[in-house]
Amino acid sequence: MEQWVWPPRYDETHRPPDGQTHWFPRRETMPAERRDELIAARIREVMAYAWDNAPFYRRKWDEAGIHPSSVRTLADFEKVPVVRKEELRADQAANEPFGSYLCVSPDEVKHINGTSGTTGRPTAFGIGERDWRSVANAHARVMWAMGIRPSDTVLIASPLSLYWGSWGAYTGAERLGARVFPFGAGTPGQTARTVRWMRQMGVTVFYGTPSYALHLAEVAADEGVDPASLGLRAMFFSGEPGASIPSTRSRIVEAFGAEVYDSGSMAEVAPWMNLAAAADEPGVLCWQDLVYTEVCDPAGHRRLPYGAEGTPVYTTLERTSQPMIRLLSGDLTRWEAPTAERGRTYPFLPRGIYGRIDDMFTIRGENIQPSAIDDVVMAVPGYGGEHRVVISRETAMDTLAVQVEYDPGQPESSLPGWAERISNRLRTVLGVGATVVPVRQHTFDRTEFKARRVIDNRELLRRMADEPLPGREP
């Protein structure tokens, strides 16, 4: 029943008794060192499989002088070159439609998902039936740890389109035996309907992005419904920072009165719930026997010691259709050593994933993560629900301005003092000052999906400088 074999095979009838906290007690609680030995052995199998079936990996490792048989330990594995998302994109363009890292025959692909393609050519995920089942079983197991049970009704409140997030939550909830309500998100007027349907269907668990949950709370209030009266027991999130960011998290808890669980890594590595909380607390565990996570130095891609900050690099241990072997995320996190305290012997990311390296910007020598700004402004009493971060360049110096919506309950005369308090708080936390501009509530659009709050005017200025003026030779 609790087998861990390659290729993966699951007993589809397994489900622990309701009172049991672990789906697979042995896999989840074994000494981390013992698990690492098993992972090293599994990696050898996964690499041998990819070598035999994926020209993409064979070529890449050949060039690096690596053969799967030379990777005996996790220390050897650190030397395997990372895979970048651009490489996957280029390989798919050259080997339509699924790339030369598809390890099953195209006929065996039973589900297609993909990236949204907002940055360049979209990438297709070709998922074989075996992988679909592994993801379902893995997600059911992780959702079980969040306390979700067959008696729950799980609302999938994110787009039911190419996005793996929605389908991953869907298939996990279904495997767990819960009632799944795939309402989706993103069509006009849908949020108000979501509120009504949630009440009618007695939804007990919510899945979506943190930004969308906050938007839903606003819309519910506009409809005269207290979000706390919707009866949600648990909410699990993925897709963007928020559920492990203290002030975003408290706003969600205050609005809905539910338990909050963070989860999620990348669509490419699905089961993307490989990073997930198993208790109502900020932070996520790295469920290493599903996807092996290494927090690495962003330049050399070597594993960093526990306690360090770096970028996650992922290796799927159960994927047979498009295995990902050392996929570079470009995200940022800090990790801690496994302890038995959290009931599972997995490494822990106490602040979850708090941003992307690419989204970090530097103002007067200080590196700033947009999520650090979110954390400050969302904690301020009188915050009106949205904000934007504007980076500009005046002379040779970059400047930071934050436009913050204020709650209409605030008298206008108090706004200058309010803005100054936020500005001081930002200076304390970020190390640099910011101009805070109060703006009316609902100045900014809300999102049903992942929020983008940074407006980089320097980019605009750079692009304008590069563009030829009419009548002028480029």
CB 185 within 8 Å of CB 208:
yes
Q: Which stretch binds ligand 8LH (CB under 6 A): 131-139, 189-197, 237-245, 251-259?
A: 237-245
Can residue 172 be called a binding residue for ligand 8LH (CB under 6 A)? no
Nearer to ligand 8LH, 194 or 274 (CB): 274
Q: Which stretch binds ligand 8LH (CB under 6 A): 173-181, 191-199, 239-247, 423-431?
A: 239-247
68, 239, 271, 347: residue in contact with ligand 8LH (rule CB under 6 A):
239
Can residue 323 be called a binding residue for ligand 8LH (CB under 6 A)? no
Q: Which residue's C-beta sits nearest to ligand 8LH?
A: 264
Structure tokens at 99: 């790339």
Least distance (Å) from ligand 8LH to the CB of residue 268?
Answer: 6
How distant, in Å, are the alpha carbons of 202, 379, 381, 448 from that of 217? 17, 16, 17, 12
Q: Is 271 helix (H, G, I), strand (E, B) or coil?
A: coil
- For residue 309, which of 257, 251, 354 has the smallest C-alpha distance? 354
Least distance (Å) from ligand 8LH to the CB of residue 266?
Answer: 4
Nearer to ligand 8LH, 91 or 384 (CB): 91
CB 220 within 8 Å of CB 193:
no
| d(C-alpha 99, C-alpha 97), whole Å | 6
Can residue 241 be called a binding residue for ligand 8LH (CB under 6 A)? yes
- For residue 271, whether the previous peptide bond is cis, meaning omega lies within 30 degrees of 0, is yes
- For residue 390, which of 368, 406, 412 has the smallest C-alpha distance? 368
Can residue 131 be called a binding residue for ligand 8LH (CB under 6 A)? no
Nearer to ligand 8LH, 258 or 266 (CB): 266
Structure tokens at 140: 């059911």
Residue 266 CB: number of other CB atoms within 10 A?
Answer: 22
Least distance (Å) from ligand 8LH to the CB of residue 316?
Answer: 13
| d(C-alpha 73, C-alpha 75), whole Å | 5
CB 332 within 8 Å of CB 354:
yes
CB 263 within 8 Å of CB 280:
no
CA atoms in the 13 A half-sphere facing the CB of 453: 29
Q: What are the helix (H) ranges across 224-346?
A: 246-256
164, 181, 292, 444: residue in contact with ligand 8LH (rule CB under 6 A):
164
Can residue 238 be called a binding residue for ligand 8LH (CB under 6 A)? yes
Can residue 240 be called a binding residue for ligand 8LH (CB under 6 A)? yes
Strands (E) located in 250-324: 259-262, 275-276, 284-286, 291-296, 309-316
Nearer to ligand 8LH, 148 or 220 (CB): 148
Binding mask 336-375 for ligand 8LH (x = CB under 6 A): ----------------xx--x-------------------
Least distance (Å) from ligand 8LH to the CB of residue 452?
Answer: 12
- For residue 336, which of 309, 357, 363 has the smallest C-alpha distance? 309
Residue corresponding to tokens 């920072």:
241
CB 360 within 8 Å of CB 381:
no
- For residue 36, which of 77, 94, 96, 80 has the smallest C-alpha distance? 77
Q: Which stretch binds ligand 8LH (CB under 6 A): 25-33, 89-97, 235-243, 389-397?
A: 235-243
Residues 6+ apart with CB under 8 A from 279: 342, 343
Nearer to ligand 8LH, 51 or 237 (CB): 237
Structure tokens at 90: 């280029």
Q: Is 406 helix (H, G, I), strand (E, B) or coil?
A: strand
Can residue 208 be called a binding residue for ligand 8LH (CB under 6 A)? no
68, 128, 165, 323: residue in contact with ligand 8LH (rule CB under 6 A):
165
Least distance (Å) from ligand 8LH to the CB of residue 263?
Answer: 6
Nearer to ligand 8LH, 71 or 135 (CB): 135
Within 257-296, which residues bind ligand 8LH (CB under 6 A)? Answer: 262-264, 266-267, 272
Query: How many residues make contact with ligand 8LH (CB under 6 A)?
Result: 17
Q: Which stretch binds ligand 8LH (CB under 6 A): 226-234, 236-244, 295-303, 372-380?
A: 236-244
Q: Which stretch binds ligand 8LH (CB under 6 A): 127-135, 228-236, 256-264, 319-327?
A: 256-264
- By the criterion CB under 6 A, which residues form the site for ligand 8LH? 164-165, 238-241, 262-264, 266-267, 272, 329, 331, 352-353, 356
